[in-house]
Amino acid sequence: MKRVLITGAAGFLGSHLCDKFMDNGYKVVGMDNLITGDLSNIEHLFASEHFEFYNHDVSKFVHVAGDLDYILHFASPASPIDYLKIPIQTLKVGSLGTHNLLGLAKEKEARILVASTSEIYGDPDVHPQKEEYWGNVNSVGPRGVYDEAKRFQEAMTMAYHTFHGLETRIVRIFNTYGPRMRLDDGRALPAFMSQALEGKDLTVFGDGSQTRSFCYVDDLIEGIYRLLLSDYSQPVNIGNPSEITIKEFAEEIIKLTGTDNKVIYKPLPKDDPKQRCPDISRAKEILDWEPKVDRSEGLKRTYEYFKQKLNK
Ligand code: UDP
């Protein structure tokens, strides 16, 4: 059996990756320091002899006994309100954490895939965003701690690839949603769904004309799995190109939840990107991948999860 280390294992994406690799017959070592992760996302795996968990902060030296075939680095706060609350940890996990895991990959002769982000394109002035676009990031703005850590992560990963011949993969993840997002993580979807469920008005920031393109988590996980197993070491966008304004998105959630709550408007956070949509030609060509779950279906599944979570 191949053995894979997944950092951020108790988080939204990390926990889905743990499931994917367990289902495909791997031994999984999960690692998380539980700052933003939640053990309830992976508690169903603890009974398996093929799953191990380490409570560890990867910005400190990382030691794992035994062989590793793959490393997936998904540890990081990932929502704007989280990285405003813990900016230094956000910078450290993307930079020092990445360095530690690249070193571990080299030591174990493992292939490593790092979670990058559409945020490396900043507030993009090219639309939709292709991998060749270099981005428009404000390094000293509130989002800079995340964006620049992820840009450094990409540079460090390419350097290990070029200078040490390490097998590396870089996925640029666009907005993703689905079960196991934290209700209080502050991002648009959990905010709107929890507001709808609690009978509150939905808080749209700015005039709601900014756009995002939301990908259902199962589609994203499949794309990441294919990228890891491919032989492609340049960055690949994974996301759903179906673009929507945030105002329309809030209205879709009101309709889905059948509430009579309204949309109310709050100030737009600084440096909030005005538009975002992935160009996924590269993923289509190299991974033969494209998203399968449309937004109406994905939102229904996510709503069921949030309803159950709130009832608990
Ligand atoms: N947003 C909003 N209301 C909220 C939370 C977010 O209108 O309660 C907006 C936010 O300003 C942004 C978009 O929704 O324009 C997506 O925000 P999110 O935090 O989900 O992701 P990101 O900005 O990182 O894409």
Can you tell me the mean pLDDT for 250-256? 96
Whether 187 is in the pocket of ligand 1, judged by its Cβ within 6 Å, is: yes
Structure confidence at residue 83 (pLDDT): 87
Q: Is residue 269 part of a domain?
A: no
Can you tell me the mean pLDDT for 161-186? 97
pLDDT tier at 310, thresholds 50, 70, 90 = confident
Whole-number Å distance between alpha carbons of 276 and 18: 28
Structure confidence at residue 291 (pLDDT): 98
Condensed to tens digits (0 to 9), the pLDDT of residues 3-27 reads 999 999 999 999 999 999 999 999 9
Q: Is residue 8 part of a domain?
A: yes
Going by alpha carbons, the residue nearest to atom 14 of ligand 1 is 188
Going by alpha carbons, the residue nearest to atom 19 of ligand 1 is 187
Of the candidates 213, 211, 195, 207, which has an alpha carbon nearest to the alpha carbon of residue 253?
A: 195
Residue 288, number of CB atoms within 10 A of its CB:
9
Chain centroid to Cα 4, Å, comes to 18
Q: Is residue 308 part of a domain?
A: no
Of the candidates 83, 121, 146, 177, the residue annotated as catalytic is: 146
pLDDT tier at 243, thresholds 50, 70, 90 = very high
Of the candidates 90, 296, 303, which has an alpha carbon nearest to the alpha carbon of residue 183?
A: 303
pLDDT tier at 73, thresholds 50, 70, 90 = very high
CA distances from 153 to 99, 133, 304 (A): 8, 17, 35
The yes-or-no verdict on residue 245 having pLDDT over 90 is yes
Q: Which residues contact 128 (CB under 8 A, 6 or more apart)?
A: 241, 243, 277, 278, 279
Going by alpha carbons, the residue nearest to atom 13 of ligand 1 is 188
Can you tell me the mean pLDDT for 33-38? 97
Whether 150 is in the pocket of ligand 1, judged by its Cβ within 6 Å, is: no
Strands 202-205 and 236-238, bridge-based pairing: unpaired
Whether 247 is in the pocket of ligand 1, judged by its Cβ within 6 Å, is: no
> Measured from the CA of 192, which atom of ligand 1 is nearest?
8
Structure confidence at residue 204 (pLDDT): 98
Going by alpha carbons, the residue nearest to atom 25 of ligand 1 is 175
Can you tell me the mean pLDDT for 261-277? 96
Whole-number Å distance between alpha carbons of 132 and 111: 24
The yes-or-no verdict on residue 311 having pLDDT over 90 is no
Q: Is residue 32 part of a domain?
A: yes
> Measured from the CA of 186, which atom of ligand 1 is nearest?
5
| 13, 84, 120, 187: residue to mutate for ligand 1 pocket, most atoms within 8 A of CB | 187
Q: Is residue 190 part of a domain?
A: no
The yes-or-no verdict on residue 312 having pLDDT over 90 is no
If you measure from the C-alpha of residue 176 to the centroid of ligand 1, how many angstroms do you get, rounded to a whole number? 12
Going by alpha carbons, the residue nearest to atom 21 of ligand 1 is 187
If you measure from the C-alpha of residue 161 to the centroid of ligand 1, how many angstroms do you get, rounded to a whole number? 34
Q: Is residue 107 part of a domain?
A: yes
Lowest mean pLDDT among 78-87, 123-132, 261-270: 78-87
If you measure from the C-alpha of residue 254 to the centroid of ligand 1, how many angstroms do you get, rounded to a whole number? 16
More confident residue, 260 or 214: 214
Whole-number Å distance between alpha carbons of 110 and 167: 7
More confident residue, 86 or 310: 86
If you measure from the C-alpha of residue 68 to the centroid of ligand 1, how many angstroms do you get, rounded to a whole number? 37
Q: Is 146 a catalytic residue?
A: yes
The yes-or-no verdict on residue 144 having pLDDT over 90 is yes
Q: Which residues contact 222 (CB under 8 A, 6 or more apart)?
A: 20, 289
In the chain, pLDDT over 90 holds for what percent of residues? 97
Give the CATH number for residue 88.
3.40.50.720
The overall pTM is greater than 0.85: yes
Structure confidence at residue 34 (pLDDT): 98
> Measured from the CA of 249, which atom of ligand 1 is nearest?
14
Residue 7 identity: T
Q: Is residue 115 part of a domain?
A: yes
Q: Is residue 52 part of a domain?
A: yes
Quote the mean pLDDT of the chain.
Answer: 97
Host domain of residue 103: 3-177+216-240+276-293
If you measure from the C-alpha of residue 188 to the centroid of ligand 1, how many angstroms do you get, rounded to a whole number? 4
Give the 3-state secondary structure of the chain: CCEEEEECCCCHHHHHHHHHHHHCCCEEEEEECCCCCCHHHCHHHCCCCCEEEEECCCCCCCCCCCCCCEEEECCCCCCHHHHHHCHHHHHHHHHHHHHHHHHHHHHHCCEEEEEEEHHHHECCCCCCECCCCCCECCCCCCCHHHHHHHHHHHHHHHHHHHHHCCCEEEEEECCEECCCCCCCCCCHHHHHHHHHHCCCCEEEECCCCCEEECEEHHHHHHHHHHHHHCCCCCCEEECCCCEEEHHHHHHHHHHHHCCCCCEEEECCCCCCCCCCCECCHHHHHHHCCCCCCCHHHHHHHHHHHHHHHHHC
Whether 245 is in the pocket of ligand 1, judged by its Cβ within 6 Å, is: no
The tally of domains found in the chain comes to 1
Whose tokens are 């998904």? That residue is 74
- Helical packing angle, 217-229 and 12-23, nearest 10°: 60
